[in-house]
Structure 1
């Protein structure tokens, strides 16, 4: 039963039954998928975007930095958005991003406006990054929290998968602008569904800790009189909230790198097209989405979080270390790259859904009413680390910019000028002397000697290739140097990602809960007995005159 409501005021009267609850969760997940389809689509066409606007890799990184900073600011603001409604934040935030993506981004005239729009979209994404998992927490008792968070986490992952699928199927016949419009139109459709169908819980219910179905009955029996005070920052500024939030952001460095730079990595490192890079990501994001759900279900079934977090992180560290060495080696094959990335994705999934469930349970331990501000800390740290990573990657991987800006141009010039280069190589001293003079001012005796030694036909071949030879002279050494240094630079960055995973590992021990499934089940049984006793006491009290 829900209230009659306009498109802004949207609350259930009571904790909903499973049908409406699952529908709400499904809409939140669908909204998250479409949001990240729009946010991540630019990475799939990154090379084309950089070439279209004449961006260096450093400037393209600034786009990500600005989006990350705006998202970090928004994440902090999102902690105070409960007065607007979490459902409103998700539904109307998605609509705003969708309209900008569909009608504005594809027609921006310059890179400066493109940068500004990235800030707008990053800000809205930061709001939704807090509001959407807060809604998932609201509608998922702790007994099913990891499963629900696993489903929510498929939002960014499936968003990446949709980007990869659409790009791999359409990019050969469409422009980067059209790829962005596909994402925006999808977002408009989903935002309409969210505006019509998404609901909030009233504060008196969402500010309670609900472990199982019995707790729902207890919350209703208690009524509004026992509704906790609204959450405050001081409630959640605790080590077991702040340190895990920072740790998980470092743990996500590799994921953030591949989401934002996989097309750039595969293009500059292995010469693959954007479409080929997207086909790799089809495998990666599919495996990650499926494993995220499976690991959430297992964590809920066993009632433990920390064993999954620790085991998954250690496995991910090992796989990332292997990737750092193997994937940056010349001649590495497509199947090997896919296998390693899938292994990293599955390992990360083992830890992430249980971690997010455990993190929200940490927040609830200090006060369920502080869920939004606790998740704001998580959203802020994630976006700050995203921005710092965007700054660091171009500083570490300096060889990308020459290859993106001139690599294709040099390769094409090399192919066209190959016959001329062979001729020049046979007479290096002569052509070195010829290069000192404009083509129309060569001394007669030198021109005669060139005609005698090289021949008119070969001289004509070299003259025809002069523009390409000029490109090779100007940019060839820089591109060659970048190509030789790039494998070492990418490998160094991936080792930094391993270090981020290592930094995260100790924070796993701050997540609440048992290590042993047997002890966890015993705790749950005791909790159920306490809830039954309180329900019985409330029932007896209500019968008294």
Structure 2
């Protein structure tokens, strides 16, 4: 059946015309669609690299800017709070589009990362600039998975979402890799931001010229498989976009959306702890150098990236999400329990690598398939409000992480003494070398450091038990989401949908 272009976008915009009019009026073919998906993934990787780069050199930032650990945690918490409300603003992309939010957000973050943060000479200025980056991240957190959903039918959705979830993971992996190999050369935390900012601006240029999005009449419909393409373009001509967007928040405020979004937010307690405080944990509890801590992170994030894709592909092949979420949650909880038991011990590096990689594999399976299931749950309510549903998820995620960061210093109180320990130990050894008696204040501080070293393992174990509790809540939330447990039942649903599509096409063509 022939179809006419949908109003609101160019059918085949020229190169420079596409910079100003980014909407596609026809659903792209497989090759073009995959290129759009890969570009969105690259954008996500770059943004999260820019957001997470400070975690790889956190101990250096705290030392040079004389920033107490509590102050650092407050910066992270407030940044997430800002990002939470930015996520709600991104829900407007259902009405105004996603691409320009992403493109110009990349520009802002790249400029701040390259020129702003490296010239932050006080902890206050550093916090302001981190907050600006977090604001943009909150918007793109919603806009990029919305683009992934737009360009991926439900058959294949888990694989597409797996590649999107690789974005934060590869961002973390790049942080640890670049820090491992470049920090010994440049020896400053500022160098990591300069490298990161250059990469971010390069990705911005690519996105500026090539990022596109579907016209509203196309993206506002449910697409189960690529066989739906003709029907979607036909129906788009008569779609009442304003009606589908009426009362968006009211349409999304349901238990299956809010409950599942909260569940995955607490599932990720361990992930956000690792991103923000993993280096601090390994340095203060196990005595790792920054290089060794980032080496462990390389193993963990690399394994996680591979597992995300494998989990997504398997989920799409079997056409189910929930069994993968259940297996991932249970396995992740077991791995965290084994991991927390290492605190206060002297495990070999290989043991920590195996436990970290095991946890990464299970949580990857849970998270990649959850993303697919959540977008499908939103589509079951109204496919035109995908970004609104993702905005609710983004807001809840950031609010939960904010609470997580505010609560962490209440549980873990030993970081400040252990971060400053090298300076006091150096002063103590210098006094001994000079055959002088260390001053009482120095001896008192050494006592504080010793007490903190004894308390740290127990404090971190308590925190990781809280992470396990988060996984338990996630497991309960699986049962309120859309989707089948049985591959056979899912296949039957797909066949029934294909038959319905053929009937609708026959009616529209007048046969």
TM-score, length basis structure 1? 0.89
How big is the shift at 1:534? 1.3
Q: Deviations over 1:122-152 (max 9, x none)?
A: 1000000000000000000000100000000
CA 1:305–1:74 in structure 2 vs 1: closer, same or farther (change >3 Å)? same
How big is the shift at 1:536? 1.8
| 1:225 alignment partner, SS class | coil
Structure 2 unmatched ranges of 5 or more = 1-10
Q: Deviations over 1:24-79 (max 9, x none)?
A: 11110000000011111100000000011100100000110111011001001110
Partner Cα separation in structure 2 for residue 331 and residue 500 of structure 1: 27
Residue 472 of structure 1 corresponds to 442
Pairs within 5 Å for 1:57-456: 57-174=69-186, 175-228=188-241, 229-230=244-245, 232-326=248-342, 328-404=343-419, 406-417=420-431
How big is the shift at 1:6? 5.4
Q: Is the 8 A contact 1:66 1:118 kept in 2?
A: no
Q: Is the 8 A contact 1:68 1:387 kept in 2?
A: yes
Partner Cα separation in structure 1 for residue 328 and residue 383 of structure 2: 28
CA RMSD, 1 decimal: 1.4
| 1:462 alignment partner, SS class | coil
| 1:209 alignment partner, SS class | coil
Residue 31 of structure 2 corresponds to 19
TM-score, length basis structure 2? 0.94
Q: Is the 8 A contact 2:106 2:200 kept in 1?
A: yes
Residue correspondences, number: 495
How big is the shift at 1:392? 1.2
**Which runs of structure 1 show a deviation greater than 4 angstroms over 4 or more consecutive aligned residues?**
468-471
Q: Is the 8 A contact 1:410 1:471 kept in 2?
A: no
| 1:304 alignment partner, SS class | coil
Q: Is the 8 A contact 1:413 1:471 kept in 2?
A: no
Q: Which moved more, 1:27-36 or 1:382-391?
A: 382-391
How big is the shift at 1:389? 1.2
Q: Is the 8 A contact 1:284 1:342 kept in 2?
A: yes
Q: Deviations over 1:294-353 (max 9, x none)?
A: 100000110001111111101101111111112x02312211111111000000011111
Residue 5 of structure 2 corresponds to none
Partner Cα separation in structure 1 for residue 411 and residue 184 of structure 2: 31
Partner Cα separation in structure 1 for residue 425 and residue 350 of structure 2: 26
Pairs within 5 Å for 1:512-527: 512-527=482-497
Matched, 1:30 2:46: no
Partner Cα separation in structure 2 for residue 375 and residue 206 of structure 1: 15
How big is the shift at 1:226? 2.6
Structure 1 unmatched ranges of 5 or more = 420-460
Residue 539 of structure 1 corresponds to 509
Q: Is the 8 A contact 1:8 1:88 kept in 2?
A: no
In the alignment, which of 422, 427, 435 is matched to residue 462 of structure 1?
435
Partner Cα separation in structure 2 for residue 223 and residue 395 of structure 1: 54
How big is the shift at 1:223? 3.2
Partner Cα separation in structure 1 for residue 296 and residue 441 of structure 2: 33
Q: Is the 8 A contact 1:50 1:56 kept in 2?
A: yes
Partner Cα separation in structure 2 for residue 307 and residue 487 of structure 1: 34
How big is the shift at 1:183? 0.8
In the alignment, which of 472, 476, 480 is matched to residue 510 of structure 1?
480
Q: Is the 8 A contact 1:413 1:469 kept in 2?
A: no
Partner Cα separation in structure 2 for residue 469 and residue 266 of structure 1: 30
Q: Deviations over 1:514-537 (max 9, x none)?
A: 111011111111111111121122
How big is the shift at 1:416? 3.8
Partner Cα separation in structure 1 for residue 358 and residue 106 of structure 2: 32
Partner Cα separation in structure 1 for residue 302 and residue 20 of structure 2: 35
Q: Is the 8 A contact 1:203 1:227 kept in 2?
A: no
Partner Cα separation in structure 2 for residue 83 and residue 520 of structure 1: 32
